[in-house]
Structure 1
Amino acid sequence: MAIPRLNAYTLPAASDLPVSKVQWRVVPQRAALLIHDMQTYFLNFWGENSPLINQVVENIARLRAYCKTQGIPVFYTAQPAQQSEADRALLNDMWGPGLNKHPEQQKIIAALAPDEADQVLTKWRYSAFVRSPLEAILQEMGRDQLIITGVYAHIGCLTTATDAFMRDIQPFMVADALADFTREEHMMALTYTAGRSGKVVMTDDIMPLPLSKDALRALILPLLEDDDVPEDDENLIDYGLDSVRVMALAARWRQVHGDIDFVSLAKNPSINGWWSLLSRTPAR
Structure 2
Amino acid sequence: MALPKILPYPMPVETDLPKNKVTWTVDPSRAVLLIHDMQQYFVDAFTPDQSPVVELIANIQKLRLYCTELEIPVIYSAQPGGQAPEQRGLLQDFWGSGIDDGPYQKKFVDAVAPAEQDMLLTKWRYSAFQKTNLLEILREQGRDQLMICGIYAHIGCLLTASEAFMKDIQPFFIADALADFSEEKHHLALTYAAERCAVTLTTEHLVTSLTQAYRPEPEGVGSFGGGMDERAAVEEQPPLTLQRLRDEVAALLQEQSANLGETDNLIEYWGLDSIRIMSLTERLRRDGIDISFVELAEHPTLADWRKLLSIKMSVSPPNYDYYTV
TM-score, normalising length from structure 1? 0.77
Matched, 1:268 2:240: yes
Three-state SS of the structure 1 residue aligned to 2:143 is coil
Structure 1 residue 266, shift from structure 2 partner? 7.6
Shift in CA distance, 254/122, structure 1 to aligned 2, threshold 3 Å: closer
For the 8 Å contact 2:148–2:157, the answer to whether it is kept is: yes
Structure 1 residue 100, shift from structure 2 partner? 2.9
Three-state SS of the structure 2 residue aligned to 1:100 is coil
Per the alignment, residue 65 of structure 2 pairs with: 65
Three-state SS of the structure 1 residue aligned to 2:100 is helix
> RMSD of the TM alignment (CA)?
2.4
For the 8 Å contact 1:36–1:149, the answer to whether it is kept is: yes
Structure 1 residue 104, shift from structure 2 partner? 2.9
Question: What CA distance in whole angstroms lies between the structure 2 residues aligned with 1:274 and 1:159?
Answer: 45
Per the alignment, residue 238 of structure 1 pairs with: none
Q: How does 1:52-201 map to 2 (within 5 A)?
A: 52-100=52-100, 104-201=104-201
Per the alignment, residue 12 of structure 1 pairs with: 12
Select the structure with the greater relative contact order (CA < 8 A; seq sep ≥ 6).
1
Question: What CA distance in whole angstroms lies between the structure 1 residues aligned with 2:68 and 2:7?
Answer: 32
Per the alignment, residue 44 of structure 1 pairs with: 44
Matching residue's letter, 1:20? N
Structure 1 residue 179, shift from structure 2 partner? 0.3
For the 8 Å contact 2:10–2:51, the answer to whether it is kept is: no
Question: What CA distance in whole angstroms lies between the structure 1 residues aligned with 2:194 and 2:31?
Answer: 18
Matching residue's letter, 1:76? Y
Three-state SS of the structure 1 residue aligned to 2:99 is helix
Question: What CA distance in whole angstroms lies between the structure 2 residues aligned with 1:162 and 1:193?
Answer: 8
Percent identity over the alignment? 45
Three-state SS of the structure 2 residue aligned to 1:172 is strand
Structure 1 residue 279, shift from structure 2 partner? 2.9
Matching residue's letter, 2:240? N
Per the alignment, residue 229 of structure 1 pairs with: none
Q: Deviations over 1:137-167 (max 9, x none)?
A: 1100000000000000000000000000000
Structure 1 residue 82, shift from structure 2 partner? 1.4
Question: What CA distance in whole angstroms lies between the structure 1 residues aligned with 2:115 and 2:194?
Answer: 32
Question: What CA distance in whole angstroms lies between the structure 1 residues aligned with 2:204 and 2:238?
Answer: 22
Three-state SS of the structure 2 residue aligned to 1:207 is helix
Uncovered stretches (5+) of structure 1, i.e. residues with no partner: 210-251
Structure 1 residue 25, shift from structure 2 partner? 1.1
Three-state SS of the structure 2 residue aligned to 1:99 is coil
Question: What CA distance in whole angstroms lies between the structure 2 residues aligned with 1:165 and 1:269?
Answer: 45
Q: How does 1:217-256 map to 2 (within 5 A)?
A: 254-256=212-214
Question: What CA distance in whole angstroms lies between the structure 2 residues aligned with 1:180 and 1:196?
Answer: 19
Q: Deviations over 1:210-264 (max 9, x none)?
A: xxxxxxxxxxxxxxxxxxxxxxxxxxxxxxxxxxxxxxxxxx964443679xxx7
For the 8 Å contact 1:265–1:274, the answer to whether it is kept is: no
Q: Deviations over 1:7-49 (max 9, x none)?
A: 1100111011011111111100000000000000001111433
Matching residue's letter, 1:18? P
For the 8 Å contact 2:100–2:106, the answer to whether it is kept is: no
Three-state SS of the structure 1 residue aligned to 2:25 is coil
The number of aligned residues is: 236
Matching residue's letter, 2:77? T
Question: What CA distance in whole angstroms lies between the structure 2 residues aligned with 1:267 and 1:175?
Answer: 35
Question: What CA distance in whole angstroms lies between the structure 2 residues aligned with 1:265 and 1:193?
Answer: 42
Shift in CA distance, 266/172, structure 1 to aligned 2, threshold 3 Å: farther
